[in-house]
Amino acid sequence: MTYRLTAIAAALIALQAGTALAAQELNLYTTREPKLVEPLLKSFTDSTGIKVNTIFLKEGLPERVEQEGEASPADVLMTVDIGNLVDLVDRGLTQPVESEVLEQAIPENLRDKDGNWFALSQRARVLYAAKDLDLDSFHYEDLAKPEWKGKVCIRSGQHPYNVALFAAHLVHHGEDATRSWLEGIKANLARKAGGGDRDVARDIMGGICDIGIANSYYVGLMRSGAGGPEQQAWVDAIKVVLPTFENGGTQVNISGAAVARHAPNRDQAVQLLEYLVSDEAQRIYAEANYEFPVKPGVAPSPVIADMSHIQADDTDLTRIARERKKASELAEEVGFDN
Amino acid sequence: MTPSRTFQGLRRSAGAGWQAAAVLVAALVLLPVAALVLFAAQGSPGLWAHLFDNVLPVAARQTVLLLAGVGVIVAVLGTVTAWLVAACDFPGRRLFGWALLLPLAVPTYIIAYAYLDLLHPVGPVQGAIRALLGYDSPRQFRLPDIRSMTGCILLLGLVLYPYVYLPVRALFAMQAGNLLDAARTLGTGPVATFRRVAVPLARPAVAGGTALALMETLNDIGAAEFLGVRTLTVSVYSTWINRSDLPGAAQIALAMLAIVTGLVMLERFSRKRQRFSGGAQRSQPLRRARLQGPRAWAATAVCALPVLLGFVAPASYLIYHAGQRLHYAGLSPRILAEAANTALLAALATLVTLALGLVVTGAARLRPGRMTQAAARVSTLGYAMPGTILAIGLLPVVTLIDRRIAAWVQDLTGLSPGLLLLGSGAALIYAYAARFLAIATSGIEAGLSRVPRSLDHAARTLGRSPGQVFRQVHVPISAPALAAAGLLIFVDCVKELPATLLLRPLSFETLSTHLYGEAARGTYEDAAIAALIIVAIGILPVVVLARAIRR
């Protein structure tokens, strides 16, 4: 009887094809798109011999890791947004990492002071404007000005990209000012808030609106031709203006990573993080997704050279992340998406 | 003890196994709901005041509008086309018989993406209109924006009406002949026959199909969010994602579940008194009325419209973009592996779901009573929940089992096996089964309701056990309904996204997760190939089924 049970157990283990058993493997849970991290992981595997198993999730990354508990095979948790990262830390799903390599490569404001999370790339929320518009500088606050009535396009006010922008406004100006700012933008919308960031460019081309807010890297993606000739036409119809807050810089968000609390392959996990901030990986990041490198001295892709003079807002990212809830509620209060 | 009492006693003990199995299946569906209740109980007391003031009035109104609009479209479109194909003869009838099923293969999020592109001011349709009218800029002329409630209703209706068409047509084909012949013999005209006999006859099937379509609508997040419609589901979502407030999201989800359950019960109650069970004699096949002239062409147009708009247009769009992609970059071999993963997973899940559905409906038939009825109702709950929320409820259930197994294996062997259900994909099959069991039970029930009780009694009198009656009488007779339910489940599994994303094993991609990955990054051309394969896989069973129901 015991023999048979042992056989069953052995079979079960064999089925499991050793996720946590092999020493030269590591498991990455990520909300980043697979195509984006693949070139990085391939290059990592080529140089270290460590195989990376990935699972790409959308929502529910923290829930899954939390429920898997100590048995979780997760080693590295990688997210697209500072909010999700801070969330992972707040739920106790990460562990502190001390690494000179990471601390030297990443500026202090782009990593957790206790080593719980590290930024890997940055992007900005910028203004897309119709080409013929006489507009060279812009403040986020201007979005609410009456002169833009019926001329603004933007995606859902509940989308994490916008929530982060609203949260940054909250940190700068407080609740009441943010509420009336959101009301002003809402009154200026040319169409319902919705669609994606690229639709802002397409809608400007289609004459639906004159200006809109969207992420910087989409400009690179559209220009690169990766999205086909149509998207090139969209991006040709717009010019990009780097907006700032009246009392600050351009709003940036980060993608980043953390080592999981129960990481079975902790050393390999740290190795991956250190690799991701190497010059080589930072360059791949910049080329593959047109984001801004976090490591000083690595240049962004030439495709978005016109944005390389960006002055990022230096407001503490963790503070912004903690205002997300309030920002999302304010957007609901003013009926931003209705 | 009288012979009849012995018979009763025998019957009771014979059905007991079925009852226990049905209760077990219901428990499997109930477990994730129970987990959600636990999540919800962890609280966020301030949430509801804010929701009542700012979110729910709009979300409830939008949800009701959307459901009403989609409901009317799918019920009318599904019934009328089913009637035309089953009862009339007109040019293209045989083609439409199966072609009307095709939109089923198009996921809601794909049709939304496709039409936004097709109908955009700088897209092909409006471009052609402008060229025709002599305008050269969209600033001079453009059509209303598809991103609206109306747009969302139309698009969802166009791909969800087969949920009504399929069972209604099966019903007309299976048993309408006698009654309709009788009506015609009594001198009723074709339109009056449709209105006074066919529609009342079809009502349970229309109601069942519409209920499925409405639950799909309620579950939809991709299309609604993309088109700017803020439903309750979208609200659950943003509460969870942007507030990191799982308890709050679980509370809204449970409230929604309560409302849906109430609606389903109301619908059941409203037709409780109607029991259609044909006589034991063989049903006559329907004799089709040959339509002539303008009437015939009108029928052709009515059937062609949903096929063209719900399938041909989005599929052509996908083919064009997939072609572009193949031209620029070729086909990634990975996509073939993903297609194989998808097909295998969906096939396994369909078999499991059908088996569980047979257990539940079989128990309710063989041992009617409160317990088995309740089990049958409970087993449909999973469908009324957004996929992501169901998956979140499943996580603790699955990981609990996983950890138990792991501890047991470790005691025995000293080795850690990791998480087996999550690691092997079994968790996904659980999720699909819990989610789509409603399709199985409603489909099989519709089939079983055609089997007269007198047949059961006859078979029992001839010494068959309840299980044998089920296997030898019920299943063969309701085979078409079973096949139809299997088709719907298979296609739904192929399309399913949120639970697949959350519960799949490491380094395991399906077509829908691939599609999401590309769409999230906005590389539409890559997504077009995966989307096209999803649609193509959805067509295969349509073809098989079309052969089965032709006759």
Inter-chain contact A53–B391, Cβ cutoff 8 Å? no
Asked if B53 reaches chain A (Cβ–Cβ under 8 Å), the answer is yes
Inter-chain contact A73–B148, Cβ cutoff 8 Å? no
| Average pLDDT for B123-144 | 80
Inter-chain contact B405–A12, Cβ cutoff 8 Å? yes
Residue B28 φ/ψ, nearest 5 degrees:
-60, -35
Asked if B285 reaches chain A (Cβ–Cβ under 8 Å), the answer is no
Q: β-pairing, A252-260 with A118-130?
A: antiparallel
Asked if B521 reaches chain A (Cβ–Cβ under 8 Å), the answer is yes
| Average pLDDT for B234-246 | 77
For B:289-318, CB contacts with A below 8 A are: none
Poorest-confidence range of B23-37, B167-181, B505-519? B167-181
The answer on pLDDT for B519 being more than 80 is no
| Average pLDDT for B439-451 | 81
Asked if A218 reaches chain B (Cβ–Cβ under 8 Å), the answer is yes
Asked if B56 reaches chain A (Cβ–Cβ under 8 Å), the answer is no
The answer on pLDDT for B5 being more than 50 is no
For B:247-276, CB contacts with A below 8 A are: none
Supply the pLDDT for residue B280. 42
Dihedral, CA atoms, A262, A268, A274, A279, nearest 10 degrees? -140
Let me know: does B490 contact B534? Beta carbons within 8 Å: no
- CB-based contacts of B483, cutoff 8 Å, min separation 6: B545, B548
The rounded distance, in Å, linking the Cα atoms of A258 and A79 is 9
User: What are B106's two structure tokens?
Assistant: 């198009």
Rounded to 5°, the CA angle A177-A183-A189 comes to 135
Asked if B122 reaches chain A (Cβ–Cβ under 8 Å), the answer is yes
Neighbouring-strand partners of residue B88 = B289
Rounded to 5°, the CA angle B375-B448-B162 comes to 95
Of B246, B328, B412, the CB nearest to A5: B412
Supply the pLDDT for residue A17. 44
Inter-chain contact A60–B392, Cβ cutoff 8 Å? yes
Instruction: State pLDDT tens for residues B56-85.
Output: 888 889 999 999 999 999 999 999 999 999
Q: Which residues on B lie below 8 Å from A335 (Cβ)?
A: 54, 58
Higher pLDDT, B105 or B272: B105
Q: How confident is the model at residue B247 (pLDDT cuts 50, 70, 90)?
A: confident
The rounded distance, in Å, linking the Cα atoms of A89 and A72 is 16
User: What are B151's two structure tokens?
Assistant: 């747009």
Supply the pLDDT for residue A22. 46
Supply the pLDDT for residue B284. 63
* Cα A244 to Cα A34, A161, A172, B129, B451, distances in angstroms: 32, 16, 12, 40, 71
Mutate to test the interface with B, among A2, A12, A65 (most CBs of B within 10 A): A12
Q: How confident is the model at residue B3 (pLDDT cuts 50, 70, 90)?
A: very low
- CB-based contacts of B228, cutoff 8 Å, min separation 6: A156, A191, A192, A193, A194, A195, A337, B147, B148
Inter-chain contact B522–A196, Cβ cutoff 8 Å? yes
For B:378-407, CB contacts with A below 8 A are: 388, 391-392, 395-396, 399, 402-403, 405-406
Asked if A19 reaches chain B (Cβ–Cβ under 8 Å), the answer is yes
Closest CA to B217 of B204, B205, B202, B234: B234
Q: Which residues on A lie below 8 Å from B517 (Cβ)?
A: 33-35, 56
Mutate to test the interface with B, among A75, A289, A329 (most CBs of B within 10 A): A329
Q: How confident is the model at residue B1 (pLDDT cuts 50, 70, 90)?
A: very low
Supply the pLDDT for residue B551. 47
The answer on pLDDT for B544 being more than 80 is no
* Closest-approach residue (CA) in chain B for A322: B243
Q: How far is A20 from chain B (nearest CA, A)?
A: 7
Asked if A158 reaches chain B (Cβ–Cβ under 8 Å), the answer is yes
Supply the pLDDT for residue A188. 97
Mutate to test the interface with B, among A2, A59, A81, A153 (most CBs of B within 10 A): A59
Of A5, A60, A195, the CB nearest to B226: A195
Q: Which residues on A lie below 8 Å from B152 (Cβ)?
A: none
Q: Give the residues of chain A that fall short of pLDDT 70.
A: 1-23
Dihedral, CA atoms, B269, B271, B273, B277, nearest 10 degrees? -130
| Average pLDDT for B512-523 | 77
The answer on pLDDT for B271 being more than 70 is no
Of A6, A35, A156, the CB nearest to B413: A6
For A:266-325, CB contacts with B below 8 A are: 324-325
The rounded distance, in Å, linking the Cα atoms of B466 and B363 is 9
The answer on pLDDT for B391 being more than 50 is yes
Inter-chain contact A9–B520, Cβ cutoff 8 Å? no
Q: Is the ipTM of this complex over 0.90?
A: no
Asked if B411 reaches chain A (Cβ–Cβ under 8 Å), the answer is no
Inter-chain contact B225–A156, Cβ cutoff 8 Å? yes
Q: Which residues on A lie below 8 Å from B228 (Cβ)?
A: 156, 191-195, 337
Cβ-based neighbour number of residue B332 at 10 Å: 14
- CB-based contacts of B126, cutoff 8 Å, min separation 6: B119, B120, B138, B142, B143
Higher pLDDT, A181 or B124: A181
The answer on pLDDT for B173 being more than 80 is no
Supply the pLDDT for residue B543. 73
% residues pLDDT > 90 (chain B): 23
* Cα A5 to Cα A11, A15, A195, distances in angstroms: 10, 15, 54
Asked if A59 reaches chain B (Cβ–Cβ under 8 Å), the answer is yes
Of B147, B399, B518, the CB nearest to A67: B399
Of B395, B498, B518, the CB nearest to A35: B518
Supply the pLDDT for residue B285. 64
Supply the pLDDT for residue B49. 82
Sign of torsion, CA A40 A45 A50 A53? Answer: positive
Q: How confident is the model at residue B4 (pLDDT cuts 50, 70, 90)?
A: very low
Instruction: State pLDDT tens for residues B404-424.
Output: 888 888 888 877 777 888 888
Q: What is the mean pLDDT of chain B?
A: 83
- Interface size A-B, in CB pairs within 8 Å, comes to 200
Poorest-confidence range of A55-64, A279-288, B140-149, B331-340? B140-149
Supply the pLDDT for residue B287. 74
Asked if B355 reaches chain A (Cβ–Cβ under 8 Å), the answer is no
Let me know: does B542 contact B98? Beta carbons within 8 Å: yes
| Average pLDDT for B292-300 | 91
The rounded distance, in Å, linking the Cα atoms of A72 and B422 is 10
